Every structure is written in C-alpha cells, then in structure tokens.
Structure 1
Amino acid sequence: MSTIDQIVFGDNQFFGINHMSQDKAQQLAERFHDLDAIFSVYDAAIDAGLRAVMLNSNSRAAEICDRFRSNPSRYAGLSWYPSIPYPHKYANWVAEKGIVGTLNDVLFQKGRLSGIGKLAQGGLALMSMDIVRMMKMLVDAEMQMFDGLNIKVVFLQNIVTDLLLGLDTADIFREYCEHVRRKYGAMPGLITQNMPYLRNKLMEWGISGVVICSSINKIGYLMSPGVEAYKQALAENDPEAFPMMAMSTLASGAVPPKEAYDFVNSLNIQSVVFGASSRPHIEETIRLIK
C-alpha cells in the first residue's frame, strides 16, 4: 500500500466555502473568481514545498485540471486526491432536470461515455437500477476531468459516505473500493463526519486499506459523536489498515493555528488537508504541522 502525503493542499477557499461566516465565504468567492488568482495561491503552496492537492469535482474543477496539465514542467510532480461527487452540482441539476434527467446527462454526456457498448451499459444500468454498475459509471464520469494526473487517493464525499453508512450498504463500499484500486491504481478514500462509526463498520465488513478523512479539531466541530470518541478510535487505529487524514483542523477559524496543530500532532494521524489563501498562512501551517 502506498503512503499518503503528510500534508495535502485543499480547495474550499477557492469556492466560497466557510462554514462559520457567510461574509467570509462571499469574499473568498469574489476574490477567486479569476483562475489566475487561484493559481497564484497554488503556486505559493508549491513554492512552499507542498506536492499534494485535494480537489472537489465541482463546476470549475475541469478548468483547474486543464491548467495543471498544460504546464507539466511546473506541476508534473504533484499527487492528486480527487473528492467526488460535488453534491451542490448534483443538487442543482436534480432541481432543474429531475433525478432521471440528471443521471441521463451525467452518464451519456458527450466525451464521458462513448461507444455503443457503453451506451448500452448505461441504458441497462438505468433500466435495471443496478446500483453497483451505476455507481461505477458515475465514479468514472466524475473522474474523467482528472485524466492524466497522478491519482493517489479517490475520496467519496461525506454526504454520500454517511448516507450509505446509514443504509448499512457493505457491498457498495466494497465495490467502490475495488473499483478505485482496479480502475485508477489508487487508494480508496472515504470522507465522513463520524469516523469512529465508519471505522468500526469497515472492520466489521472486512474492508481495509482505506484512507479515512474526517474533521479533527479540539472543539469537536463536525465530529460525531465527539472528541473523546475520536481520540479513542485514533489511539486504537492501525494506520496500515486505515490511514487517517484530518480536515477542518482550525474549525473554520474557531481554533488558533498553534493550538489546533498541537492537538492534531498529539494524535495518531498520518495526514492533514488544509486550505489557505495567502503565502504567509500556507507557510505557517506547514511549519506547525511539521
């Protein structure tokens, strides 16, 4: 099993995401409306030594990937951690076109699935409601924008992970993990807001070699059932079976950086993903994590 990067650069700051402040979110969205502004921050992160990127498959991800691919001498050494699917994108499509219309567009959109065989496969999946087959096709549709990049982990977004977890769907998790390993030569990853429960279920189902990414911070922000349960699960965890990645370490700014990373660094965590919008913040965060 490959080793995940100790520090991964995230993307929430580029897309107006701040769970604590709508004003801050709006300011970020306006600032990073231009692709050059986004890449000025990516370049600062790379200059600071970062070599790993997590990117949600949102509406702007394709053009971001295109820019990375267009300059291989600058960006060829990066490891990629795609996070799929981007839920807001699908929510908007479902509201506009309905579930069937959305699935039809995603599965049959030009350039995503081509050839009579794949069209027939997609039609069969829709008609028979073969969930496993449809899941694989949706994953492949989302992953097409990352084609040609060095994929290390493919993460399933928490809104999907936790829904499937609540439905107790062991087979879907198993098939997802195998598909990612076989099709992309990457490690499967799962983002969750309940790491202790997800880890317990994966062990119960005999699924391992999965990167688990979850909010980990000292105030319990987006951590269910709470900080103590997380600390216990992390203390017991075998990182060979479930490498752990921490996100939301600053709890959207509620925890000062030094406090936040003193806490994270005291735990059995293999990786941290963080977002930042300035060179000083990037450099400070790297120093505190290391």
Structure 2
Amino acid sequence: MSTDTVSAVHTMDRLLLGDNQFFGINHMSEERARAQAMRFQDTDSVVEVIEIALQEGLRTLMCTTHERIGDVCERVRDDASRFPGLRIYPCMPYAHKYANAVTEYGMLGALRSFVPDEGMLDAVVRGGRSVLRKEIEGLITLLIDAEMKMFHGLPTPVIFLQNVVVDLLLGLGFDEAFAVFDRHVRARYGAEPGFITMNLPLLLDRLDRIGIADPVVCANINALGFRMSGGMDAYERALAERSFRPVAMSVFASGAIAPRPALEWIHRHAEVESVVFGASSRSSIAGTVAIAKELWGTVTAPPS
C-alpha cells in the first residue's frame, strides 16, 4: 500500500472476539489458564472457535501477533469462504516472542532477528544515543512492518499497540513513539491506530499533549474497577469528559462478573464504543451475543 494513503474513520463493531483464551491467559485462575492452554495447543481448535463466533454473528477478531495467529491467517487466506466478513485487529507486539528471543540470542541478536535492515541497526549500535534518536522512527516502523507480515492480504482496519509497550513508553516519557506509530499505521496500512493501556487517564493526557485527537483506546473498564489503574473515579471522568473512542476489555473481570450485569453496566456508559471479550464455547459466545443484542440491538456496525 502506498505510504501516501491516509486512513478513514473505521466504525468498530459492538462486540469483538479476543484471543486470551487461546494462549492460556486468565487473570483470576491459573488452573483455568492451564486448561485453556492445553485445549488450544493446535491451530484447528483456535479456528473452530473463530468459525463459531462468525456463525453467531461476530465478525472481528482482536488478536496478538502470536505465531499461532500467523497459522490462523494462513487458513483464512487459503479458504476465505470459511471466514465470511472476518476482520482482524492486530495487537502488537507479542511480548513473549521478544522476551524469548532476548533470552536465546541476547539483546542485539534478538533485534537482528526481527529487524531486516542490519546496516541501520549496526549504525545505531556504533553511533550511540545521538544516532539512536535520529534512527528511532525507522527502527519502530521496521518492527511494525515485521509484525504485520502475517496479516498480508487480510483486512486490518484497526492496529493496536499492546499495553506492555504503551505503558513502558508512558513510564519512560517517550511520547513521540506514539506519534510514530500513529503516522506509520495510517500511512502504510490505511488503518486506524489503537492503543491498549492499563492506565487510561495518563495515556489520554499524553496523547492529547502530542496532538493525537479522538484516539481508539482499549483499557480495562468494568463494574468492579478490576485492574483499572488510576481508580474507578478517574475512568468514569475520562469516559464522561474526554474525547476518545473507548474499547472496553476485562468487562467480566476474568469471570468475577456475570455477563448480563457486566454488559448492562457497560451499556449505561454510552461512550464505550466496543467490548472485547474472550470465549471458547458456542454457548458462551451465543449467550454474550444475545445479551448484547438485547441491550444495543446489534453486535455489528454499519459499513464505514
């Protein structure tokens, strides 16, 4: 895609299928996480759940750049008729992939394994901090492109930066990296950039400061204040007063809130545009879809 392409506003669906359940991630129960990891050891089991979700009326998969998702993308490209209307929201990077590479190859070896332009990397290493400042935008964009390779040929209208990086950048005060991500995602992929965070109020302040208007931001938003860094009151004020497009995650607080009261609470916060949830069975997916349709009338959005 031409680097002159500018993304249009993409209307997100009300419900998005997440992928934590595929990779053994559960924030309340290690036992349940292990059981899920065992169940989804092969790509067939992951694909089966995605097909069920499509059959039940969902059409958006919000997923990490885990190697298994690369296998799923291959299946979708090879037999698109099995996945009608599927849209993917990549969330990058998959942090464990980089952590494992650092453990195996060391910091420089890991960077070389993910960044194809070794000349630029060598210049950064030789030149130190001044060269690093000059080349950092090129390095970030190369890493984005490396992460996006698995999705080639598939619709990816929103591309998210994972909270492990977003919150690290917040802590370092490296706000310009958000602007680099924003520009590259829009120009190279014609997509809307999204940001995942564990500290919604702080991120909104920083994005305002660098001029990113009305951003797509995914954060923990739920009735219990579960994992909502900064406190429930700060999140309530952000939803009511700030200009952004909220995507709520952890709405069920890892099973501590039943689906109906969880979604009813979200429904009372009309500012929330989308809900991402993980589910691994037809009954769970169908039940969540049914409640959402009662509350909002639909789980999908009209064409952008």
TM above 0.5, yes or no, is yes
- The Cα shift of 1:45 comes to 0.3
2:66 pairs with 1:58: yes
What is the CA deviation profile of residues 147-202 of structure 1, one whole-angstrom value per residue up to 9, with x for unaligned ones? 11101111011010011112222221111100000001000000000111111221
- Equivalent pairs: percent with the same residue? 44
- CA distance in 1 between counterparts of 2:91 and 2:21 reads 15
Aligned-pair RMSD on alpha carbons?
1.5
Q: For residue 53 of structure 1, give the secondary structure of its aligned residue in structure 2.
A: strand
Q: Do 1:51 and 1:77's aligned partners in 2 also have CA atoms closer than 8 Å?
A: yes
Alignment of 1:191-270 (within 5 A): 191-238=196-243, 242-267=244-269, 268-270=271-273
Q: Choose which of 155, 160, 185 in structure 1 pairs with 2:160.
A: 155
Q: For residue 225 of structure 1, give the secondary structure of its aligned residue in structure 2.
A: coil
Identify which range, 201-210 or 277-286, moves more after superposition. 201-210
What is the CA deviation profile of residues 91-113 of structure 1, one whole-angstrom value per residue up to 9, with x for unaligned ones? 111111111100001113xxxxx
What is the CA deviation profile of residues 34-85 of structure 1, one whole-angstrom value per residue up to 9, with x for unaligned ones? 2221111111100001111111011212111111111112325222100000
| Aligned amino acid, residue 92 of structure 1 | N
- CA distance in 2 between counterparts of 1:126 and 1:170 reads 23
Q: Do 1:214 and 1:247's aligned partners in 2 also have CA atoms closer than 8 Å?
A: yes
Point out where structure 1 has 5 or more consecutive residues left out of the alignment: 109-117
Q: For residue 36 of structure 2, give the secondary structure of its aligned residue in structure 1.
A: helix
Q: Choose which of 4, 7, 13 in structure 2 pairs with 1:5.
A: 13
- CA distance in 2 between counterparts of 1:182 and 1:223 reads 32
Q: For residue 133 of structure 1, give the secondary structure of its aligned residue in structure 2.
A: helix
- CA distance in 2 between counterparts of 1:31 and 1:66 reads 21
| Aligned amino acid, residue 27 of structure 2 | H
Q: Choose which of 138, 141, 146 in structure 1 pairs with 2:143.
A: 138
- CA distance in 1 between counterparts of 2:44 and 2:225 reads 35
- CA distance in 1 between counterparts of 2:138 and 2:38 reads 39
| Aligned amino acid, residue 281 of structure 1 | S
Alignment of 1:16-165 (within 5 A): 16-108=24-116, 118-124=117-123, 127=126, 128-129=131-132, 130-165=135-170
- CA distance in 1 between counterparts of 2:185 and 2:42 reads 32
Q: Do 1:188 and 1:209's aligned partners in 2 also have CA atoms closer than 8 Å?
A: no
2:286 pairs with 1:283: yes
Q: Do 2:51 and 2:82's aligned partners in 1 also have CA atoms closer than 8 Å?
A: no
- CA distance in 2 between counterparts of 1:59 and 1:19 reads 22
- CA distance in 1 between counterparts of 2:145 and 2:122 reads 16
Instruction: Tell which has more relative contact order, 1 or 2 (C-alpha 8 A, sep 6+).
Output: 2
Q: Do 1:125 and 1:133's aligned partners in 2 also have CA atoms closer than 8 Å?
A: no
- CA distance in 2 between counterparts of 1:214 and 1:59 reads 24
Q: Do 2:194 and 2:215's aligned partners in 1 also have CA atoms closer than 8 Å?
A: yes
Q: Do 1:162 and 1:192's aligned partners in 2 also have CA atoms closer than 8 Å?
A: yes
| Aligned amino acid, residue 53 of structure 1 | L
Q: Normalised by the size of structure 1, how large is the TM-score?
A: 0.92
What is the CA deviation profile of residues 2-39 of structure 1, one whole-angstrom value per residue up to 9, with x for unaligned ones? 21222111111111111111110110011111222111
- CA distance in 1 between counterparts of 2:224 and 2:265 reads 10
Q: Normalised by the size of structure 2, how large is the TM-score?
A: 0.88
Q: For residue 111 of structure 2, give the secondary structure of its aligned residue in structure 1.
A: helix
